[in-house]
Amino acid sequence: GIGVSNMKAGDAAYFCAVKTLLDAGIKLRGDVILTYVVGELQGGIGTVKAIEDGVRADYFINSEPTDLQALTMHSGAFVFAIELTGITRHMSNRNEAVDAIVAACELVPTINAISFSGALNKEHESVNRANIGVIRGALSPEFHDWRAPQVADFVRLLGSARYAPSQSEASVLEDLRSTLDGLEARFPGLKTKVFKHQAEEKPSMLPFEVSRESRIVKTLNKSYKLVRGESQPTGPIPPACFFGTDAAHFQHRLGMEGIVCGPGGRYNTMPDERVDIPDYLDMIKIYMLAILEICEVV
């Protein structure tokens, strides 16, 4: 079912890790807090509320799906809107028109191939991506679909941007603005706008980064090696580095160090979403070992 991979299997795995330790009678010096919250896709509103209500810890493990890899960086994410306004004419006179749909057709592959400016290094560049996922064009902003013989003078596009910790929503919007300036130059008479979509309706999903030398990263690496007998892949690993998670809220709002590591990932957002059982069971063991090392046995 939807969400089994993203991220209900991770939720279940860390519950089973804690339950197994409790059932074994193990007592810890430190506390373990499990958070089950709503609204990750709405900007992480559940985690923000938990933080506002006083949830604190020394370290965190976010169980978003990474196929058990240690994700030390992921991009920030937000949705942007672009509006193109051309000049309409009947198709018989289209040589006098500025066709917003034709302009949009040129714009989409340009944005889908973009790499935003200001990345600190190659790793930061590697989490850059943009995608146009919604496009609608017709006559006027009311989209008069019944008027196909008329050259379209209005297109609205929605896209999602992914950017690194050394970049920002503002710098991404500036880069998109520069791209649109070039489009206007190629289509004289075209007017363009770009802005953050639903800017006031949900928190920003900010980028996340943790040092590979952090205690929590080293602990997870060690736990993975004990369970699987090999080194854990670690870094800004695709595709998980493009997901966006609530890890950024713990980092930016509380200054906590943490890691993103969970079962699932390869079957995300596709028919028959699932998690391989060996991955799920290994994730439980890895979480258990990490808890034991970080919290220490009494």
Is pLDDT above 90 for 203? no
What is the per-residue pLDDT for 199?
83
Q: Which pLDDT score, from 0 to 100, does residue 115 have?
A: 95
State the virtual CA torsion across 91, 92, 95, 96 in degrees, nearest 10: -90
* pTM (two decimals): 0.91
Res. 2: pLDDT tops 80:
no
Longest dimension (CA), the chain: 83
How high is the mean pLDDT of the chain? Answer: 96
Mean per-residue pLDDT for 238-242? 95
Residue 21 scores a pLDDT above 70: yes
Residue 262 predicted with pLDDT over 90 = yes
Cis peptide bond prior to 7, omega within 30° of 0:
yes
pLDDT tens digits, 109-159: 999 999 999 999 999 999 999 999 999 999 999 999 999 999 999 999 999
Q: What is the mean pLDDT of residues 65-70?
A: 97
* Residue 63: closest CA among 276, 265, 272: 265
Give residue 204's pLDDT.
Answer: 87
User: What is the pLDDT confidence band of residue 7, given thresholds at 50, 70 and 90?
Assistant: confident
Other Cβ atoms less than 10 A from the Cβ of 213: the count is: 7
Contacts (Cβ under 8 Å, ≥6 apart) of 95:
none
Higher pLDDT, 244 or 231: 231
For helices 247-254 and 45-52, the axis angle rounded to 10 degrees is 30
Per-residue confidence (pLDDT) for residue 1, from 0 to 100 = 63
Answer whether the bond into residue 239 is a cis peptide, omega within 30°. yes
Asked whether the predicted pLDDT for residue 77 surpasses 70, the reply is yes
- The confidence score (pLDDT) of residue 202 equals 81
